[in-house]
Amino acid sequence: MQHNDNWGWRARIGLFIVGAEVVPEAEWWAMLPPNVSVHAARVGAPVPWARWREGRVGVELAEDLARGAAQFAAMHLSAVVIGHSSSSFVGGKGWDEAVVEKISGILGPQVIATTNGLDCLAALRASGIRRPFLVLPPWFNDQTVEAGLRYYKDRGIELAGHHSYDPGRKWEDLSTGDLYSHGMSAEQEVKPLYAQISASCPVAADGVLIAGTGFRCVAILDALEKDLKRPVLSANQASMWNCLRLSGVHSEITGYGNLLKI
């Protein structure tokens, strides 16, 4: 008898993630349709993962990103995504397009490249969201939050508001920069996040976008949509949805928000 081995004969997707994160792979594997596989490469570079050249004429990839892209090029993948909201935000206007162009030169023409920033923008359009409520992880410092707000403004998206998640008393004495080193990447609860989003989502918002690929949240997307009666997107959900589309896979996936039914 032959059992399921997650062989990606329909599509194989390469995923660049932060070296210390456990959330992206777990959420992707939870949501993926049959016969599609995800293959992660870990990046330890500072934000953003590709630096602008002088005059902002093209970018230079971080060493981890360049090495991973070369390895991905030999793996017969359908699509590759830079799964890092912070890099898209901090990289700023034009960064997503510049890094896609650069990495595509390594991957070759048979592999489609994208970024989490581009994926979230595509998901907002597909969901008909014009005034999203942006929810940010607690480890985003003030500069990253401001970069995120500016990112959407530069793209012509008027946010209905934004909220940085409060992880609770256990973490209140730590700075944003110390949360990961003290274990937050693997110690995240979704019930308090659900409560905060439900309580703080503005009436004017026509949808919710939860940023941060290391931010555990896909388990509550369906419940939030039913509670708020509006579409709710997340970083990993949006990237997986867009990568599936780019790979020619159009399976309807239930349990993780209406986006995956589009």
What does the pLDDT look like over 167-213, one tens digit per residue? 999 999 999 999 998 999 999 999 999 999 999 999 999 999 999 99
99-112 tens-digit pLDDT: 999 999 999 999 99
Q: Any residues with CB less than 8 A from the CB of 74 and at least 6 apart, and which?
A: none
Whole-angstrom Cα distance, residue 230 to residue 214? Answer: 23
The answer, yes or no, to whether residue 225 has pLDDT greater than 90, is yes
Whole-angstrom Cα distance, residue 261 to residue 125? Answer: 14
Section 114-119 average pLDDT: 98
Section 44-63 average pLDDT: 96
Residue 196 tokens, joined: 């905060």
Residue 66 tokens, joined: 């360049």
> Which residue shows structure tokens 């388990």?
219
Section 240-255 average pLDDT: 97
For residue 46, what pLDDT is reported? 96
Q: Which residues pair with 14 in a beta bridge?
A: 39, 80
pLDDT band at residue 116 using 50, 70 and 90 as cut-offs:
very high
Taking the alpha carbons of 98, 101, 104, 110 in that order, is the dihedral positive or negative? positive
142-161 tens-digit pLDDT: 999 999 999 999 999 999 99
The answer, yes or no, to whether residue 113 has pLDDT greater than 90, is yes
For residue 120, what pLDDT is reported? 98
For residue 2, what pLDDT is reported? 86
Cβ-count burial of 167 within 10 angstroms (0-12 exposed, 13-18 middle, 19+ buried)?
Answer: buried
For the chain, residues classed under CATH 3.40.50.12500 are 11-116+237-252
Section 237-254 average pLDDT: 97
Whole-angstrom Cα distance, residue 152 to residue 149? Answer: 6
Architecture of the domain whose range is 11-116+237-252: 3-Layer(aba) Sandwich (3.40)
pLDDT band at residue 74 using 50, 70 and 90 as cut-offs:
very high
For residue 183, what pLDDT is reported? 94
Residue 252 tokens, joined: 């309807």
Whole-angstrom Cα distance, residue 113 to residue 62? Answer: 16
For the chain, residues classed under CATH 3.40.50.1860 are 119-234
> Which of 234, 171, 172, 170 lies closest to 197 in space, CA to CA?
234
For residue 222, what pLDDT is reported? 98
Section 213-227 average pLDDT: 98
Whole-angstrom Cα distance, residue 97 to residue 138? Answer: 27
Is the pTM value of this prediction over 0.85? Answer: yes
Pick the CATH number of 119-234 from 3.40.50.1860, 3.40.190.10, 3.40.50.1010, 3.40.50.2030: 3.40.50.1860
Mean pLDDT, the chain, integer:
97
